[in-house]
A and B are shown apart, each in its own frame.
Chain A
């Protein structure tokens, strides 16, 4: 299949350049003194400066050190909680037969296509009533519930590919449903759980809308909320803003570099099949 095709290589080069250059621009303007990049990050002279990174990290009104800490808490909480809940649900929907299972699956399937705007206003009011506005707990709960439908769908699909015989063997030995789930199914699900967790973590980290409507306190804001605040009122300080985006991107980037396999598998499993 590997044909020496000069066009293919040319396309690869052009595409690589087009896709890489914007990222290079951000890195350059983040790591150079602000006044050097006023008329373009590609213009010499090139000097290295930590000033923008430090400026974004310790910004007076949107210190990314705070946002990063909040984002870590929210992303971890909103990954672990729904992963646990979704694995239980997936087993219930994948293996147990009960009345209303079909319609329930269809309902959960439809929720996959729901836009966040559909829940925004009532969710805001509800969180206010529950005293969970401006709280990381509230945001974690919202993200958890929001992520559940696709996680359940993904995990249910995986469970249905597992052989039933193992469970039957466990049940003949007298294990109940819960025991069967904990000792037989859960260990078998680990690869799928890894994919689900990596994807959910990245999505929660990257989310902006949910945080925007539920968090206002500058000390509770997550990192994606702080990025627009770094822009400044009257003119855009591109050095500072680039440094901020670099910091905000660093975590999903690390996840992707080290856990790419699970990420891609999750993406594929969620869509193709």
Chain B
């Protein structure tokens, strides 16, 4: 029943069944091409020059090497490259595992933690009124506006041997090296330090969006559930969670894209070290292009990151365009 007016509204907006629209609008339609060109040209020029052309060029370069056309051999080389994937070491659990696997491990830990934590905190904070909530919210928000380069410095500072809080506290609790030493200096702990730090920085994003989603849920639903004697858990499980699902999906998608292109934190905190143990794809691409001056391999890595991003981007764009 509820879908009828919605479908109608959508129909008029897309302009396909034109019956409801005034004649004027329909007549103007014919000549709108030139007007559109006027409105769009400046922006399209900028995007074409500085976004589209470089992307297409990168894609093109990824298919070449010094000798000429190379097909997909750059990509095949990437998967044989220990800097990118090192399954042997991954199975023996001794980092470095290669940039791609580091990104993957990062995602596997970071994605559920930030999305889940943001959701839980949004719900919990909507239930209590206390100045602690204000403080917690404010501090978590801070993570979103913090430049990631600053975030990386703070992470390094937290896990530093003498000056850092985390190793000192763990040492006092009786933990041995590397836990009580500088996390970023040991291959076993460097990546983990960065991942934990990035959870600290990114949870705010998830919390803000989930909070916004919560505020759109009809209060009457909860009142009705309470009258029926539903427990708080049951309310969360059967009202909050399903109604927040669209928001959670968006948060997860954007978090995934964020993890794929992670760069600043690693650059400033560890430079991918020690010995490549915290290297990631974006950093490897930078090294390849601007240190080793190998645009072909760099382009292949960049294209690889894009190939991982595009399906999510496509889903996201379709969703936002209402198709």
Query: Chain A interface (Cβ within 8 Å of chain B)?
Result: 1-3, 5, 8-9, 11-13, 15-16, 18-23, 25-26, 29, 37-42, 82, 85-86, 88-89, 91-93, 96-99, 101, 104-106, 108-124, 126, 141-142, 144-146, 148-149, 152-153, 157, 160, 164, 168, 171-172, 177-178, 181, 202, 205-209, 212-213, 224, 227-228, 231, 236, 238, 241-242, 245, 248-249, 252-253, 255-256, 260, 263-264, 267-268, 271-273
Contact = CB atoms under 8 A, between A and B. Distances in A.
Given A206-B147, A208-B264, A271 B35 contact: no
B320 A117 contact: no
A146 B268 contact: no
30 contacts: A2-B129, A9-B132, A18-B200, A19-B142, A22-B157, A22-B165, A38-B163, A40-B162, A88-B43, A96-B35, A97-B29, A106-B317, A108-B47, A110-B310, A110-B314, A110-B317, A114-B313, A118-B55, A119-B58, A120-B286, A121-B299, A122-B55, A126-B54, A148-B46, A224-B147, A238-B157, A245-B154, A264-B212, A268-B208, A271-B209
A87 to B, nearest CB: 9
A97 to B, nearest CB: 5
B232 interface: yes
Given A118-B55, A145-B50, A249 B32 contact: no
A231 B213 CA distance: 41
B263 A208 contact: yes
Contacts of B309: 113-115
Contacts of A227: 149-150, 153, 268
B224 interface: no
Contacts of A97: 15, 29, 32
A247 to B, nearest CB: 10
Contacts of B318: 106, 109
Interface string B247-260: 10011001001001
A39 B162 contact: yes
A20 B268 contact: no
A122 B150 CA distance: 28
A139 to B, nearest CB: 11
Contacts of A123: 50, 54
Contacts of B145: 202, 206, 249, 252-253, 255-256, 263
B51 A114 contact: yes
Given A2-B128, A40-B168, A146 B50 contact: yes
A115 B222 contact: no
The 8 nearest A-B residue pairs measured at CB: A113-B313, A109-B317, A92-B39, A145-B50, A119-B54, A16-B136, A19-B139, A122-B54
Contact of B127 (A1, A85, A157): A1
Interface string B282-323: 100110011000010011011101100110111011101100
Given A1-B219, A91-B39, A118-B306, A248 B135 contact: no
Given A40-B165, A206-B147, A115 B58 contact: no
Contacts of B313: 109-110, 112-114
Nearest to A252: B145
Interface string B113-152: 0000000010011111110110110011111111111100
Nearest to B46: A145
Contacts of B143: 19
Q: Most B CB atoms within 10 A — which of A105, A231, A271? A: A271
B157 A117 contact: no
A263 B157 CA distance: 28
Contacts of B290: 124, 213
B264 A26 contact: no
B277 to A, nearest CB: 19
B229 interface: no
Contacts of A82: 46
